A and B are shown apart, each in its own frame.
Chain A
Amino acid sequence: MSFLLGKDMTGGYGAADILHACTIGVERGEIAVVVGPNGAGKSTAMKAVFGMLELRSGQVTMDGEDITSLSPQARVQKGMGFVPQTNNVFRSMSVEENLEMGAFIRTDDPSGTMAQVFDLFPILKQKRNQPAGELSGGQRQQVAVGRALMTQPKVLMLDEPTAGVSPIVMDELFDRIIEIARSGIAILMVEQNAKQALNIADKGYVLAQGANLYTDTGEALLNDPDVRKAFLGG
């Protein structure tokens, strides 16, 4: 069983279900990538795993423990970090204050973690006193990821961390994400750039209309002719 697993999740925002027995998960130190067309329910699945969505059926487990009924805040305490797809920084607050807010629930001194985040994203150290809303898209994503790292999570969930950034910045971000995974943190991320993401993924999930279409290793999905034709542009 995976370290973090959302299993057979069914639910939605109102009366209609968006997710239909959808399953996603990730192992310690590995990268799992969720891909699929717009509106497939990728973000919804992430929210479900993080407890921001009421599930009609299915469970979420972490390290073998059932956490289905926990609030998002309680999941943060348990070691989950989440970077939402949109509005993922405090725009009016400085980079440093964003990181401080990431560590809000910590009772110990977070300055060591902040130094680690600055090592990982040196540009943030340079811009530590600038409001996050004034940064470029790529830098803002770094703030968002950095903020989530401030609780020293065991698993980091990223919803389209490279949305709207240039290809160079995307490669750079992927390198950082690999680095984070190497440090032992499980990474579950949604990506629009399916090819590049599956390239660095240990495991891949292809979702369509709220259900799992294909699930395999990243490499196998990249080589699957059906997946290539339908989702990777040939």
Chain B
Amino acid sequence: MEIMNALALLSNYLVVPALAYGSQLALGALGVTLVYGILRFSNFAHGELMAFGTMAVILMTWFLQAQGISFGALPTELLALPVGILATVVLALGTDRVVYRFHRSKKSQPVIFLIASLAVMFFYSGLTRFIIGTADRNMGDDGARFIFTAREFKEWSGLDEGIALRTTQGITVVVTLVCVVALFWFLNRTRAGKSMRAYSDNEDLALLSGVNPERVVLIAWILAAALATVAGTMYGLDKTFKPFIYLQLLLPIFASAIVGGLGSPVGAVAGGFVIAFSEITVTFAYKRVLTYIMPGDNVPDGLVQLLSTEYKFAVSFVILVVVLLVRPTGIFKGQSV
């Protein structure tokens, strides 16, 4: 029983949150990796694109709520998602038209694109704050809060420790699963998806085969914007919407994409979970778990926490540095950075 309690405790505070956080990182990293694979630059504006998308979803949610429309047990944000995606796609395509297309026609170096994306990042961040302000916004305040609560779990299992599953966590995992399956189906089974993989693999040969580069770029932006909106909304639903948080998310998202192998969609998903689980296992306080599995007085005094939560971003950073030194192409052999 003690072992079961320890496992329940670990699941509640480590596994479930890491699954949700890992899903959010995976969605974010997929967008980064797609843009890298097709346009061949690290898009630093991706975090702010997520912020913009989430903002669009929030505005649409408010509108729906004002009309008295809700989504039953599910948060209204899910209903607003398609509109948010549409707005974000328009923004991404507009940006490509105004900024990146010029550099493509000039065949600019990747580093020029990267610097341009920094400028775009500042523009997006200003735009988002200009529209919705800088304050925190609560998301997911309608619908059921829990799929099951800790108390329900305790009664059901008879354990001292409960596992709670919040609706937003469940939604995050399910939505991620749907997005990933749909994306992989698209990339592996459709003509357009195959042409994107071909273009990412070998640009010259793809051009010789008659692949239209502008079309591939267009699809890449649509997918990246959609994924960014979903990722940002899931993160906001799980926590709250703070405009600045998406800039901070950029590091773990890039770490995920690079750990998995830049340009590799499978890698982005794997990388997201590697980073999420590392971050949370390293900053988790094991004290209470140990009290269940260690006899009596042997339990240490402190929190038994490797690293305080304030330093969680250092975890992604360390993993990133180690991967770049040891295996720059990442787990799934993406392009070397």
> Given the known A-B contacts A72-B208, A76-B208, are A104 and B201 also in contact in the complex, defined by CB atoms under 8 Å?
no
Kindly identify which residue among B201, B202, B204, B210 contacts A105, using a CB–CB cutoff of 8 Å.
Answer: B210
- B198 sits at the interface (CB 8 A): yes
- Determine whether the beta carbon of B210 is less than 8 Å from that of A92: no
CA of A40 to CA of B209, assembled, Å: 27
Kindly identify which residue among B201, B202, B210 contacts A73, using a CB–CB cutoff of 8 Å.
Answer: B210
Name the residue among B197, B198, B206, B211 with the largest chain A CB count within 10 angstroms: B198
Kindly identify which residue among A76, A84, A88, A89 contacts B210, using a CB–CB cutoff of 8 Å.
Answer: A76
- Shortest C-beta distance, B199 to chain A (Å), equals 9
> Given the known A-B contacts A101-B194, A104-B195, are A87 and B205 also in contact in the complex, defined by CB atoms under 8 Å?
yes
Kindly identify which residue among B197, B202, B204, B209 contacts A104, using a CB–CB cutoff of 8 Å.
Answer: B209
- Determine whether the beta carbon of A101 is less than 8 Å from that of B206: yes
Which B156-194 residues have a C-beta within 8 angstroms of A?
Answer: 191, 194
Complex contacts, B205 vs chain A, CB 8 Å: 84, 87-90, 101
- Determine whether the beta carbon of B208 is less than 8 Å from that of A91: no
- Shortest C-beta distance, A140 to chain B (Å), equals 12
CA of A153 to CA of B321, assembled, Å: 49
Q: How large is the interface on B (under 10, 10 to 19, 20 to 34, 35 or more residues)?
A: 10 to 19
Q: Binding site of B, secondary structure by majority: helix, strand, loop or mixed?
A: helix
> Given the known A-B contacts A101-B194, A101-B195, are A93 and B201 also in contact in the complex, defined by CB atoms under 8 Å?
yes
CA of A101 to CA of B197, assembled, Å: 10
Complex contacts, B195 vs chain A, CB 8 Å: 101, 104
- Determine whether the beta carbon of B198 is less than 8 Å from that of A72: no
Query: What's the tally of chain A residues with a CB closer than 8 Å to chain B?
Result: 20
Kindly identify which residue among B191, B201, B207, B210 contacts A90, using a CB–CB cutoff of 8 Å.
Answer: B201
**Which single residue of chain A is at the shortest CB-CB distance from B211?**
A104
Complex contacts, B198 vs chain A, CB 8 Å: 90, 93, 97, 101, 104
- Shortest C-beta distance, B212 to chain A (Å), equals 9
- Determine whether the beta carbon of A91 is less than 8 Å from that of B202: yes
Which A45-91 residues have a C-beta within 8 angstroms of B?
Answer: 72-73, 76-77, 82, 84, 87-91
- A138 sits at the interface (CB 8 A): no
Complex contacts, A102 vs chain B, CB 8 Å: 209
> Given the known A-B contacts A84-B204, A90-B201, are A97 and B209 also in contact in the complex, defined by CB atoms under 8 Å?
no
- A100 sits at the interface (CB 8 A): yes
> Known contacts A101-B205, A102-B209; can you find 4 more A-B pairs with CB under 8 A?
A87-B204, A89-B205, A90-B197, A97-B197
Which 8 residue pairs are nearest across A and B when measured between Cβ atoms?
A105-B210, A90-B201, A104-B209, A92-B201, A101-B198, A101-B209, A104-B210, A73-B210
22 contacts between A and B (CB under 8 A): A77-B210, A82-B208, A84-B204, A84-B205, A87-B202, A87-B205, A90-B201, A90-B205, A91-B202, A92-B201, A93-B197, A93-B201, A97-B194, A97-B197, A97-B198, A101-B194, A101-B195, A101-B205, A101-B209, A104-B195, A105-B209, A147-B209
